[in-house]
Structures are given as C-alpha cells and as structure tokens.
Structure 1
Amino acid sequence: MNTVTRPRILVVGAGFAGVECVRRLERKLAPHEADVTLVTPFAYQLYLPLLPQVASGVLTPQSIALSLRRSQKYRTRIIPGGAIGVDLKAKVCVIRTITDQIVDEPYDYIVLAPGSVTRTFDIPGLTDNAFGMKTLAEAAYIRDHVISQLDLADASQDPAERASRLQFVVVGGGYAGTETAACLQRLTHAAVKRYPRLDPGLIKWHLIDIAPKLMPELGEKLGRSAQEILRRRGIEVSLGVSIEKAGPTEVTFTDGRVVPTRTLIWTAGVVASPLIATLGAETVKGRLAVTAEMCLPNHDGVFALGDSAAVPDLAKGQDGAVCPPTAQHAMRQGRHVAENIVATLRNQPMRPYVHKDLGLVVDLGGKDAVSKPLGVELRGVPAQAVARGYHWSALRTNVAKARVMTNWLLNAVAGDDFVRTGFQARKPAKLKDFEYTDAYMTPEQVRAHVEGTGRIES
C-alpha cells in the first residue's frame, strides 16, 4: 500500500486511554497497515494519581511526565495541539496547535480520548481566585504558592495578613482533594519548623465537600478511617458544605463561615472535555454515549473512551451502569479500543469491554494510607505499601519507575525540601488560566469551518 490508501487513525488525547491505545496499535499493526496520528499539546503522558505528591514536593514534576518519544520504535506522528472540534460527517478534526494555528486533520478512524476538565459551578469569584489540580503546571504552581505563603507570613507585621496566608482551603472530598490536602498539610507542618517567627498553631487546613461522606467509594469504615487520620493531623473536615463565594483574601462557606485565606484549591470533580459538545451526539451526564465496544452509534470509525465516554460497565451487570473515570479503566479501555480497531481493519468481529474493578488506593503521605485492593480493607503501612506498589507498577516506563522510586527513597531519608522553584510569577495563575475551556467550537462553527475549507462537497 502507498500512503494515500493506508487507513488514517487519529487518536485525540495523550492520557491513560489515548497512550495505551497508540501503544497497542503500534504493536499490533504493521507500518503498511495504517498511519497513526496523536493529537496532544504535550509530548508526554501525565501520571495523574501522583500529582498531589508533586504539589507537596515528594516527587519532581518530570518523574510523572512520561515522554512519548523515548521508544526508538515510536512511529506515531504527534500534532502538538488540542482538538477543538470534530465534523463526524466530513471525518475531519479541527485542531488548534500550540502556536494558535487552526489545522484540519482528516481521518478514517478516530479515537476520542480527550479526558476531562475541572468541574466548576457558577460561584462568584471561583475561577478568578481558585487554583486547580489537574495539570502538571498547576501542581508545580501550587507548591510554590503554598511555600510563598509561609515566606510572606513570616515577613509580615500584620496579624490579619499573617492569619489569612496561613489558612488553606481545599474543596472536594474525593481522592484528588483528600490526597492534596493530606500531602500539602504534611509539607506545611514540616516547613513551619524552619520559620521560628511563625506560630505552628496558626496554620490551618480546611477540607470541605458538599457530600455527606468522605470518599464514599471506599465504604463506611475506610472513609471514616481516612477522616480520622486527617483530623488527627489537624485538618478540619467539613461535610455537607461548599463555597458560597470566593475572594482574593477570604472564602465564604455555605454554612455562613468566612475563612480568611489566600489559598483556595478546587478539586470538586471533573466533567468531560468540552470537545464532546462539538460533536452534536447523544451524551450521558456530559459523557459521550457509546456501545460496549466503545463505538459511537451510527458513525462508522468513531470510538470514544476514558473520562469523556459513558462506557457501559458490563462487569456490574446493572442496566445503565457506566465505568467510572479512573486510570485503571482508561488504560484497559485504550488497549481494548486498539484491539477493536485492528479487528475492524482485518474484518474480524469486535469485542465488548468488560473489566472488574481491582480496588482503590488513597495515599495520605508518610505512613498514612487507606486501600481496598480486591475488596480487602487495609490501613496504615500495609495500605501505603499497596498504594505505592500499585502506582509504581502502573508507571509505563522503567525510567519513570526509577525516578519515582528514587524520589520516594530520598524523601524518606532526607525529608521534605522547601525550595520555591520559580513557577510562582508575579501575576497569579488561577483556574481560568490553566484550562482553556473557551477555546472550543460549537457544532455549527465546526461545520461552517470545514465547509469553508472545501472539505465537504456541496
């Protein structure tokens, strides 16, 4: 075959789902069978579950950024940018490159794995004053910001300013919020010993969530254990509470409390990438409705998976059950979609996706953790061993495994370091500055754009 007749496979997103799909396609398909293209603004895969440990300085940023170009056999073409629209009829993906060029990429098969973005609500001041924890840049920025609050509080002569800089609020009682609060509280607890002018009692961490329970997926006992660990460390956990409004120097809770703070970290869940809305296709709570084979109904050659797709969870045996947006599902879905694409190219039947959840792990830093592998409830050091063992084994490259293990050992021996690395610029960077949710097209804009470039016959 020549390059004109080879099928074009376009993978959107380099998260767990997208990268696993590309890797399996490269292994299963000979070079002459198809051309594979990956759309991603960064040439690395981010190991998202370890992001709180980057924010707390336990891990370096590059240790969880797994390069997509390390393999000498890597033959996938990477387009550095983000998909902002898809015309399913014309089979064209509209991409905004990192230099703000708009390019059209035609495809024969498309794998939609754009992931998710931080879920926000119409709360006054939220996007202008809150920090997110979804990207590597945000984690590095938050670390510098938290340490800078200690520096500024230590230098301040104003008791009110000092109090506001030493209070920290994390919204979201899921895994991301709980681990972020736990890891950063450990950082400030260790760092304050180097600030003799600061009263450790002034440092207060708040973890709030509108839900009645902390991490309900863990079950009653483990959820309560995690809550007890946090409270023992001095983290104030408030459930059934959210944010009413956010300002630059204070946050108002829905229960009426006003907390003076310069640090509001928002981790209250995620929603599917805005790219999904450009398709004009059926969705389930914002996620693209797909079959058990992860195909988009009535559209040949369109697959969707990961956080942006409502993939039926056949292992639960319940009507309407969909797979949760977790890394273990995304990785397996990526490999499964690749197998189904290969089967389609070779005129073989596709298989439905079935995977039974292996359990949950929550690393609270130090010797504290709660885990539920295969339904077995663990706490303390055994849970920590399972949590870190799972994360370590899930890292895709030996280089990443070596870096993470070295970081863990160094942190255990030498303790935390409190160096600001310079990510904190004079201009603050908040939620609105990291996630470009206003960059996407509407379905009508996609159609008009593609027609204007001559991709569709009249």
Structure 2
Amino acid sequence: MVGAGFAGVACVRRLERRLGVGEADLSLVTPFSYQLYLPLLPQVASGVLTPQSIAVSLRRSSKHRTRIIPGGAVGVDAKAKVCVIRKITGEMVNEPYDYIVLSPGSITRTFDIPGLVDNARGMKTLAEAAYIRDHVISQLDLADASQDEAERASRLQFVVVGGGYAGTETAACLQRLTTNAIRRYPRLDPKLIKWHLIDIAPKLMPELGDKLGQSALEILRKRGIEVSLGVSIEKAGPEEVTFTDGRVLPCRTLIWTAGVAASPLVATLDAETVRGRLAVTPEMTVPRLDGVFALGDAAAVPDTTKGDDAVCPPTAQHSMRQGRVMADNILASLRNQPLKPYAHKDLGLVVDLGGKDAVSKPLGIELRGLPAQAVARGYHWSALRTNVAKTRVLTNWMLNAFAGDDFVRTGFQSRNPATLKDFEYTNDYLTADQIREHTRGLIAGG
C-alpha cells in the first residue's frame, strides 16, 4: 500500500480486520507515521487546533499487522512488480509486491506564473500549516516594529488564491486570527490589515449551490475579506503581487490553494491518465498493469452514480469509501472471487468559517450559522479515527471557545522561507529510465 491518506488508511484497516492469519503480508509506505486529517488544516494554521490534534497515529489506530516503511514511493516498475522507495534517510530500496495499491494522494497544482513557486505557500501538509501560522504572526510583529509605512502596508496585506473549500476556510480562519491578534498591537491600525480571496472561477464554492455559496460570500465580505472572482495571479514577487485585472498589491503573504494535481508518482507508470490522474476501471484496477490498483486523489475513479465520463472528485468522503471497497477487491483477488465496482453518492459539504460562521449542505439540506457549525464540527469529529484524536480536537475547540486565540510564534523555519517544492518533495521522483535501471537486477534474476 502506497500512501497513508484517507484512502490508504481505510483500505489497510479493513484488510487488517478481514485477512485470515497468514493469508497475506501487508506493507504501508508513508514518510510519516500518521494520517493527516486534511479538512482541519486551516484550523491548525489559525491556531484553533494544535498540529498533533489532526495527526492521527497509524500505530495507535492499527492492529499491528502492517509493516510501516518510513519513506515515499518514488517509482513503480509494473513489469518487475517492484516499488522503488526512498526512505526518510535518503536510502533507496526495492520492495517487491504481488498486489500494489496506489493512493499517493495529490500535490498543490501550480501554473507557469512568474515567481509563483518561489513566493507562494501551500496548505497541503502539516508543516505548511505550522509555517503559515508562524509567518502570519511574524508579519504582525514586524509591522509593529517597523517605522516604514510602505513596509507596514506590505506586511499587513494577505492574499489567498483559490475559492474552493481549502482556500475559503483558510482565508476565513486566518482573517479571524489576525482580527483577534491586532488587539495586542496597539501601535497598528486595524484598518491596515487586509485579506484578499481571489479565484478565477465566477462563483465561490460552486459545489454548495448558488444560495449557500452566496451566503458564504456575504459572510466573508461582512468580515472585511475582499473577495475577487474571475481574477487570478499574473506575477508573484517577494513584496508584491500582480493580479490579472491589473492591480498590484504590496504583499508578503501569498497562500496558494488553487486546486490539486495527482502525485508525480503517477507519471512513473506507463499507464493512461485522465487529467493527470490514473485511469482506472470502476473496480479501481489499472488496465494492462497486473496487480496494480489505484484510488483516491491520484486515480480517476469512474463515478457510476452520474454515468457518462464522470469521475469522482478528489474528496476525503470518496477516498475513505473507495478504500473500503478496495480492501474488499484485494480480498476478492486473493480468493479468486469477482471484484465489485465502486459506487457512492456524495453526501454533501461542510464549511467551517471560524467562530460562529459556517455553511453546510448535508444530504441536500442547506444550513447556516450555528446549526451549520454544529454539523461541520460533528462530522469532522466523528471522522477522526482514534479516541485520542477526538479528545484532543474536542479539548482544543473548547479551550479556544473559552480562552480565545493565542498568538505564540514558534520560530518554525523563520530564516528559511520554504517553497512549495520544499514542503511537498516534488523533486524526489524517478524517471522511467531511472526506475528500470534501479530494478534491472531483479528482472534479470527473476
């Protein structure tokens, strides 16, 4: 199993429960010994939750039947049936397999925009969330200490790109943090702090529908967030950002959440793709590659509930359920039984905008305010896999509700402003020739 996201962990947990003794050996390739509960990442960035709260321990939640390999899969030789792994020490090892399940997830999608990869920060990893929190608070500290009005203006303007779930929640949660923090900075004018949320799409979170999407837009604008639709970034610099509508903003904080792309691992296989994701059958097998399955963000799993050429969106809801079906199909393969196709109708979307603000659409029912907040937090809380994680998250929520935000800056990478590539390790993957060279001895000896 490659990847410890929602899909991979759901598959492994089900296999651990249903495999007979001695029926198969399980290995899980992941650089971290936790499953990241990604939907709550904006609350880590804003300090509502501690990083440890949403890093759900794999060893605590497993039945200890799975060997965890600390590293990342950087190539797959489907002919030799070998997965090439770069361990966290940098050592490269070959891991043979009979069946391989690919759920390496996704990375932040970027475009050929001058300065973007060097000056933007993503929100895909725990390290990025911790870094962004430190960075935002440091901008307040530096602006407060500065005598230069131009520097103050650039440090107190924040831009978030992406009007989807991640971008909207990130902008909302961090804007709430700076609004509460400014009370601790009497030398700073609160009016100088400006948050901008931009998206090239004509609507904010179109998945919510027109009414709820408009409600979310009104909440953000009422709180002072400037939302610009039909707009993107033309150029990004260390101290200013140029929009496609011609505006140039002094800005030292650019957060990029404009979509995701499948893991670069996909490109190491000689397989058909659909918009960069592995093309798979409804049973989540990869055509022409014996023993290879794929699911989650890296796979274009057909959405059988919609038909035609529709594929499932890269959401946690689909990934978790695909993982369970995948486990059943692995068992069926081992036992020479027929595989079953994946089918699931989306149950809705929940959006936590911080404080008492939220919009949700569970089972098609439109909710706003506290009822929506209760549904959003209740869903996330119930989806956490261990009681320890649930206790930590609930305790953090209660502490924040009664004590308010804290504004501690830990100094995380304070003198090393990391880029998107640094956080997501996108340069680690091998080419097809490198993979063949690395596994040549196994093929010759096979």
Structure 1 runs of 4+ off > 2 angstroms?
453-458
Q: 1: CA distance between counterparts of 2:62 and 2:76? A: 31
| Kept in 2: contact 1:244–1:254 (CA 8 A) | yes
Give me the whole-angstrom Cα distance separating, in 1, the residues matched to 2:424 and 2:443.
30
- CA positional deviation for 1:207: 0.3
Match of 2:30 in 1: 40
- Partners of 2:207 and 2:408 in 1: how far apart? 36
Name the residue aligned to 2:257.
Answer: 267
CA distance in 2, matches of 1:456, 1:209: 52
1:421-436 correspondence runs (5 A): 421-436=410-425
For the pair 1:99 / 2:89, whether they are aligned, the reply is yes
Aligned to 2:359: 370
Structure 1: how far apart are the matches of 2:31 and 2:186?
Answer: 44
Give, in angstroms, the shift of residue 300 of structure 1.
2.5
Correspondence for 2:283: 293
2:162·2:259 contact (CA, 8 Å) conserved in 1? yes
Deviations 1:58-87 (Å, cap 9, x if unpaired)?
000000000011147312111111001001
The answer to whether 1:18 aligns with 2:12 is no
Q: Does 1:242 align with 2:232?
A: yes
Q: How far does the alpha carbon of each residue in 1:305-344 deviate from its partner, in whole angstroms, 9 at most, with x for none?
A: 000000011112x211110000010001111101111111
- For 1:346, the aligned partner's letter is R
Distance 1:402-1:354 versus aligned 2 partners, 3 A rule: same
Within 1, Cα distance between the matches of 2:61 and 2:123?
29
> CA contact under 8 A between 2:78 and 2:290: conserved in structure 1?
no
Question: Are the equivalent residues in 2 in contact too, given 1:90–1:456 (CA < 8 A)?
Answer: no
TM-score between both structures, scaled by the size of structure 2: 0.99
SS in 2 for 1:399: helix
Structure 1 contact 171–209 (Cα < 8 Å) conserved? yes
- Per the alignment, residue 344 of structure 1 pairs with 333
How far residue 30 of structure 1 moved from its aligned partner, in angstroms, is 2.2
Separation in 2, partners of 1:375, 1:456: 57
Please identify, of 66-75 and 112-121, the stretch whose mean Cα deviation from structure 2 is larger. Answer: 66-75
Matched, 1:143 2:133: yes
Give 1:322's aligned residue. 311
Instruction: After superposition, give the CA deviation of every residue in 1:173-202 in whole Å (9 maximum; x if it has no partner).
Output: 010000000000000000000100000000
User: Is residue 2:184 matched to residue 1:183?
Assistant: no
Residues 27, 69 of structure 2: 8 Å contact kept: yes
Alignment counterpart, residue 347 of structure 2, candidates 330, 353, 358: 358
8 Å Cα contact 1:94/1:105 also seen in 2: yes
Asked if 1:278 is matched to 2:257, the reply is no
Aligned partner of 1:367: which letter? K
Please name the residue that 1:6 is paired with: none
Residue 154 (structure 2) pairs with residue 164 (structure 1): yes
- Percentage of pairs with the same residue: 81
Other-structure match for 1:125: 115
Could you say what secondary structure the match of 1:357 adopts?
coil
Instruction: Look up the SS of the partner of 1:281 in the other structure.
Output: coil
Residue identity matched to 1:263 = T
Unaligned runs of 5+ in 1: 1-10
1:449 aligns with 2:434: no
The alpha carbon displacement at 1:278 in A equals 0.3
The separation in 2 between residues aligned to 1:92 and 1:103, in whole angstroms, is 10
Q: How far off is 1:448 after superposition?
A: 2.4
Question: What amino acid is aligned across from residue 454 of structure 1 in structure 2?
Answer: L
Structure 2, unmatched stretches of 5+, are none
Verify the 8 A CA contact 1:287 1:308 in the aligned structure 2.
yes
> Per-residue displacement from partner, 1:213-232 (whole Å, max 9, x unpaired)?
11111111111110100000
Post-superposition shift, 1:438? 1.7
Instruction: Select the residue among 217, 222, 232 that pairs with 2:207.
Output: 217
1:219-265 residue CA offsets vs partner (Å, 9 max, x unmatched)? 11111110100000000000111111111100000111000011000
Partner of 2:124: 134
Is 1:255 matched with 2:245? yes
**Could you list the per-position Cα deviations for residues 277-320 of structure 1 after superposition, in whole angstroms to 9, with x for gaps in the alignment?**
1001000000000010101112222110000000011112x211
Pairing 1:384–2:385 present:
no
2:43 is matched with which residue?
53
Q: Which residue of the partner structure matches residue 393 of structure 1?
A: 382
Cα drift, residue 371 of structure 1: 0.5
Partner-residue secondary structure (3-state), 1:157? coil
How many residue pairs get matched? 446
State the distance in 2 between where 1:376 and 1:293 align: 31
Q: Using a 3 Å threshold, how does the CA distance of structure 1 residues 313 and 149 change in structure 2: closer, same or farther?
A: same
Whole-Å separation in 2 of the counterparts to 1:424 and 1:110:
36
Instruction: Report the alpha carbon displacement of residue 449 of structure 1 after superposing the two structures with TM.
Output: 2.0
Equivalent residues of 2:241, 2:251 under 8 A apart: yes
Mapped partners of 1:90, 1:143: distance in 2: 44
Match of 1:7 in 2: none
- The question of whether the paired residues in 2 share the 8 Å contact of 1:17 and 1:331 is answered with yes
Give a deviation string over 1:383-431, Cα, whole Å, max 9, x none: 1111101001100111100000000011000000001122142121121
Q: Which residue of 2 aligns with 1:409?
A: 398
State the partner residue of 1:309. 299
SS in 2 for 1:69: helix
SS of structure 2 residue aligned to 1:384:
helix
Contact 1:57-1:416 within 8 A present in 2 as well: yes
Equivalent residue letter for 1:29:
L
Indicate if the aligned counterparts of 1:145 and 1:424 stay in contact, CA closer than 8 A. Answer: no
- Cα distance in 1 between the residues matched to 2:224 and 2:355: 15
Aligned partners of 2:80 and 2:442 also within 8 Å: no
Contact 1:166 1:204 in 2 (8 A): yes
